[in-house]
Structure 1
């Protein structure tokens, strides 16, 4: 990390805190919307391979979520003229990461992939165990389970990350037919982006958006979060030199940052204005902001009574 961020440490807490506005601990990632080239093909992948349930399905747009839940996790928008991309060829989305409730669920998912003869990668990141797949448009997908926070590794205020082999034999034993789709409680745990410059990324995601940087010594990457989580946002320069995603590319249209109140959203919008960023709105009126590489974050709020996020289909 650049030396300008060293004074942002707060004693006895995790991470490099923002110099001004800081997100509340219960802020988290909401739904993700993708532009895809063929809706039917993408629906087949995300429902049959990833295990999401189809909640709403139109001619060119669909919403998916976990089994037994009405909460939307993923939206697929078939956009005319969009074509698939190749690995590390565009700045923008690296992967959408679906967090399963337990390691037992992850073990069931592994059995499902093996039974279906589906290729996947994997990594043990110390705080989580993850599987990696690629959707029909070349966009990466992570499915993972966290280890208990008390087992995470820290060096000072930094959460230590690694990419070690997953010990599949140490996952909980489950029946071969135990996978019945993404279970209730599955969420979008984080999103991970290809960006062009780590200093600029820190200036936006930490200095303006208000996330804590919790891991900064993993090669070529920063990991940022609210509430001491290992990361809600991953930022890496592993596709440095590639152009940002364009209107002709399969890509991330936006991801949601869920805030607990309208007051908190107004504070974040004020942080954006103070830093010289102009907020815009989605078609449904939801305020949003765009980072230096054209990645859009929609700012939504949770209804404190119902415990649900705003209704938003635009």
Structure 2
């Protein structure tokens, strides 16, 4: 096994948002995205599906709004297991919010929207891997074509909640440098580049079309701070993989903070990344 790359079974875990209005954002992700509230305190809400946490909302009244030049979240991408579930999501968005966009990416069908504090969201479902288009060099081809919303709507069963099997399929970041992004996430953390498009890079583990995307489309130049993305998790399948990741960070002289169930590192844009083992609670 190549210990310099992340293996099959690596995935994105929870993502966390630093927000100003916990009540409003909790209601939004419950009623529009369809997540269930799993835990709630005065300043924090944990939402997910089927008792699996996917999103952490952290209220911070003192946090400033994200700067126009600030790096951070482009969108959180919630992956649903079926076209029916995607149709249900479309119905909730149309009934209670506003659809920002929709695309057929060749590998997936995706709906786009923005939460009340400006955080981007994608809700999508994958085509089967046998349907994905590949380039001659073996890389996955991700395209952007119009999505047939009528057929998505027709698939809906009117569900008010995201079903079991929903997860965070990927996260898309706005970064200041794609070279630094690849140095950190590919050369050190261990993802592999799946495809690139102008001013964007898509990386994954185990041949998925992408677990993390990054772009410089809006020319962000200052570190992530204020409201927006607080942290996100990379889940690895076993302790040996975590040990290898820890060693690569040490070799790259990247500071690591130990947690009970993993490690925390900060990427070149001051985005906090938590790496933990799948079986850890």
| TM norm structure 1 | 0.84
Distance 1:196 1:180, change over 3 A: same
Task: Please show how residues 1-314 of structure 1 align to structure 2 within 5 Å.
Answer: 21-66=4-49, 69-85=50-66, 89-116=69-96, 118-155=98-135, 156-171=137-152, 173-174=154-155, 178-216=158-196, 218-246=197-225, 249-281=226-258, 286-303=262-279, 310-311=280-281
Secondary structure at the residue paired with 2:181? helix
Q: Is the 8 A contact 1:286 1:299 kept in 2?
A: yes
In 1: Cα distance, 2:88 partner to 2:256 partner: 42
The runs of 4+ residues in structure 1 deviating greater than 6 Å are: none
Number of residue equivalences:
279
Shift in Å at residue 60 of structure 1?
0.5
Gaps of 5+ in 1: 1-17, 304-309
Q: CA RMSD in A?
A: 1.8
In 2: Cα distance, 1:113 partner to 1:34 partner: 20
Shift in Å at residue 59 of structure 1?
0.5
Shift in Å at residue 171 of structure 1?
3.0
Secondary structure at the residue paired with 1:42? helix
Shift in Å at residue 163 of structure 1?
1.5
Deviations 1:65-99 (A, max 9, x none): 01xx111000001013124447x642011111000
Secondary structure at the residue paired with 1:267? helix
Secondary structure at the residue paired with 2:187? coil
Q: Is the 8 A contact 1:133 1:142 kept in 2?
A: yes
Deviations 1:266-310 (A, max 9, x none): 11000111112111245x66411111111111011122xxxxxx2
| TM norm structure 2 | 0.93
Deviations 1:42-72 (A, max 9, x none): 1011111111000001100010001xx1110
Name which of structure 1's ranges 111-120 and 92-101 shifts more when overlaid on structure 2: 111-120
In 1: Cα distance, 2:155 partner to 2:6 partner: 38
Q: Is the 8 A contact 2:83 2:155 kept in 1?
A: no
Comparing both structures, which one devotes a greater share of its residues to strand? 2
Q: Is the 8 A contact 2:262 2:277 kept in 1?
A: no
Q: Is the 8 A contact 1:91 1:239 kept in 2?
A: no
